[in-house]
Amino acid sequence: MVDIDKAVIARLKKDNKIFEILVDCDKALEYRDGKSVNLNDIIAVDDIFKDVKKGDKASEHDLMSVFKTSDVLDISKEIIKTGEIQLTAKHQTKIREEKKKRIIDIIRRNAVDAKTGLPHPPQRIENAMEEAKIHIDEHKTAEEQVEDVLKKIRIILPIRFETKELQVVIPAKFAGQSYYILKKYKMLKDEWLSNGNLQATIELPSGVVDDFFNDLNKICHGEIESKILKMK
């Protein structure tokens, strides 16, 4: 069993009723992510509550009505998997940091310096976020927060979103190996030429153009032809 003093609340609202259990935060999150964790190492108390803080236990009638069982382990599984797990301060910080990195990566991959047309390095984006005093919300996805972050850092950084449409021709000897790299990006068109070379049209954010060619050149060793067809 888990140390009650270190346990957090996992809560599920179902059929207009609240059900709560006490769990180890780390292990509950691991279990939710699909890792193999024994439920007895997650649950602090063998009871289902309607209000943990008041010590009010859920009635067997409510458990049977909502879950069709009164088995604590079965109900706990559902609460952990689909409910809300109270995060410790440590986990809140960790999640905010992970989402911050994701936001920075989204901006790096999709945006360029409005003055030079070159990608902004991650550190420059992070510095702008700190200067703009950006608050990362651990309850929202990184994608949901990007637009708000952009509005605030545009005051500090000259930044714009840009995509490029490229045409690449890959020698026949590298074409097969290179195809899976092309599929990682938005491939608008591909054509096998009469000499066995592969010609493809790719649309990608300007911020990842260098990554794209680096990936290809690990296989093709620079033996590719490319040109920009259009920029948006």
Task: Give residue-wise pLDDT tens across range 7-47.
Answer: 999 999 999 999 999 999 999 999 998 999 999 899 999 99
Q: Which residue has the tokens 């079965």?
A: 74
Q: Could you tell me if 217 and 210 are in contact, meaning their C-beta atoms sit under 8 angstroms apart?
A: no
Tokens 């420059």 found at: 124
Average pLDDT over residues 161-170: 91
Q: What is the mean pLDDT of the chain?
A: 92
Domain(s) labelled CATH 3.30.1250.10 in the chain stretch across: 8-85
Give the list of residues 6+ apart from residue 33 with CB closer than 8 angstroms, or none.
Answer: none
Residue 11: HSE in the Cβ half-sphere, 13 Å Cα cutoff: 12
The whole-model pTM stands at 0.62
Measured in whole angstroms, the distance separating CA 91 from the mean position of its chain's CA atoms is 16
Q: List every span in the chain annotated with CATH 1.10.10.900.
A: 89-161
Alpha helices in the chain (DSSP H): 25-32, 60-67, 72-82, 89-110, 122-131, 142-153, 172-183, 209-220
What CATH architecture applies to the domain 163-231? 2-Layer Sandwich (3.30)
- What pLDDT score does 178 carry? 93
pLDDT at 90 over 70: yes
Residue ranges of the chain assigned to CATH 3.30.70.240: 163-231
| 89-161 CATH, one of 1.10.10.900, 2.40.50.500, 2.60.40.3080, 1.10.10.10 | 1.10.10.900
Instruction: Give dist(CA 10, CA 21) in Å, integer.
Output: 5
Say if residues 199 and 193 touch (Cβ distance below 8 Å).
yes
Residue 30: CA count within 13 A, CB half-sphere:
12
Q: Which residue has better confidence, 169 or 114?
A: 169
Collapse the DSSP code of 169 into the 3-class scheme (helix H, G, I; strand E, B; otherwise coil) and give the result. strand
Cα–Cα distance measured from residue 49 to residue 59, given in angstroms and rounded to the nearest whole number: 8
pLDDT digits (tens, 9 = 90+) for 75-85: 999 999 999 99
Mean pLDDT to the nearest integer, 152-172: 92
Neighbours of 41 (CB within 10 A): 14
pLDDT score recorded for residue 1: 63
pLDDT bracket for residue 185 (50, 70, 90): confident
Q: Mean pLDDT over residues 191-220, rounded? A: 91
- pLDDT digit string, tens, across residues 97-148: 999 999 999 998 888 898 988 889 999 999 999 999 999 998 888 989 998 9
User: Hey, which CATH number is domain 8-85, 3.30.1160.10, 3.30.1250.10, 3.40.50.720, 3.30.70.141?
Assistant: 3.30.1250.10
